[in-house]
Structure 1
Amino acid sequence: MLPKLTLALGGAASGKSVWAEKLLLSSGLRPVYIATSRIFDDEIKMRVEEHKSRRSDQWTNFEADLDLSPSLSQLHAGQGVLVDCATMWLSNQMLDQRNVAAAQNDLLAALHAAQVPVIVVSNEVGHGIVPDNALSREFREAQGRLNIALAAQSDLTVMVIAGLPSVLKGEMP
């Protein structure tokens, strides 16, 4: 059985989404996918299409670029949900100049209230160099705070590197 909240961390293209999808599918729950990405250009469109092509028709799909509460609140027993990803969700918050701290609190409350197991995918952005501009540094700090809060609330936190999971907190199901 999946934990109530699983956090799958990793760098860009580390295999965290594929790992999270496999984890949810192996649970026997009916899989639900909540996509947070906005399509700004052809590159993002290509990545979204790549993600979609991996998922079969058994997945129920929602799009929620800012508020995940409505999607999470309509799920019921027998389902499990993958939120992909917290990094794009945070980017959307910042691009729309929303109150990031309030949005983070709302997200954490929605995850806590979810009646089904949730897997959240998020990028670990703190391993690189210090960005050269204020907006990038602000994003890096906000992403770090979000990941810390998600990990604190999670029952299982996994770092995925080169497609391989390493448990940071909790136990693998």
Structure 2
Amino acid sequence: MGKIILVTGGARSGKSTFAEQYVAKKGKKIGYIATSQICDDEMEFRVKLHQKRRPRDWTTFEAAFDAHTVLAEQGKNYDMFLFDCMTIYISNILSHVHDIGAFDQIYELVTGKLNELITAIKNSDATVVIVTNEVGAGIVPENKLARIYRDLAGLSNQILAQAAEDVYLVVAGMPVNLKNIKENI
């Protein structure tokens, strides 16, 4: 039975670097699930940075929309996956929504994709380290789509955290396992 490790934090907090080190230390045969779509120079630069840091023996799977399929097909072939990242995955899904006014339908779409992902992970033999962002710690966005995105990212993080064995919050490059703190309360 597969398991989830969630790694969250703010922008440039060191969460991807921590997740890469975690996977490299604990995994033997590692798959990398890349969710980014290169649509501008900035994203191309970020993708290249991530590629440069990754060991060459990791297998990369491009999965901008259907990451659950990769895990359903490959979950028995790898002991560890790095999924980077959930908030970009949500952004990809939202980019194909035609009516941002239909929040209930958008919510169903995103949570449906999330549940497919969790089910595929649980049915695999792998540990999947999922990187995500904490996007709701700032001001309430003025833009409706940005508010929907923020809300869905926060809800998705909560769902993933409940399903995860461990949840790491990374701040200034320093990870804290939130599940350990919760157990001590």
TM > 0.5 fold call: yes
In 2 relative to 1, CA 137–155 (structure 1 residues): closer, same or farther, beyond 3 Å? same
Q: Quote the Cα distance in structure 2 between the aligned partners of 1:28 and 1:114.
A: 15
1:17 alignment partner in structure 2: 16
In 2 relative to 1, CA 55–126 (structure 1 residues): closer, same or farther, beyond 3 Å? same
Which secondary structure does the structure 2 equivalent of 1:83 belong to?
strand
- The percentage of aligned residue pairs carrying the same residue is 40
Q: Quote the Cα distance in structure 1 between the aligned partners of 2:17 and 2:23.
A: 10
Q: Quote the Cα distance in structure 1 between the aligned partners of 2:121 and 2:3.
A: 9
Q: Quote the Cα distance in structure 1 between the aligned partners of 2:55 and 2:82.
A: 14
| Structure of larger gyration radius | 2
2:49 alignment partner in structure 1: 50
Q: How does 1:105-124 map to 2 (within 5 A)?
A: 105-124=115-134
Determine which structure has the larger helix proportion and give its number: 2
Aligned residues: 169
Which secondary structure does the structure 1 equivalent of 2:65 belong to?
coil
The structural deviation recorded for 1:78 is 5.3
Higher alpha-carbon deviation: 90-99 or 157-166: 90-99
Q: Quote the Cα distance in structure 1 between the aligned partners of 2:19 and 2:172.
A: 13
1:150 alignment partner in structure 2: 160
2:136 alignment partner in structure 1: 126
Moved over 3 A (4+): none
Given residue 39 of structure 2, which amino acid in structure 1 is its aligned partner? F
CA contact (8 A) 1:155 1:170 kept: no
Q: Quote the Cα distance in structure 1 between the aligned partners of 2:113 and 2:77.
A: 26
> 5+ residue gaps in structure 1?
none
Q: Quote the Cα distance in structure 1 between the aligned partners of 2:33 and 2:27.
A: 18
1:61 alignment partner in structure 2: 60
In 2 relative to 1, CA 52–93 (structure 1 residues): closer, same or farther, beyond 3 Å? same
> 5+ residue gaps in structure 2?
98-105
Deviations 1:13-61 (A, max 9, x none): 1110110010011114222100001111000000000000001211111
In 2 relative to 1, CA 103–28 (structure 1 residues): closer, same or farther, beyond 3 Å? closer
Which secondary structure does the structure 2 equivalent of 1:169 belong to?
helix
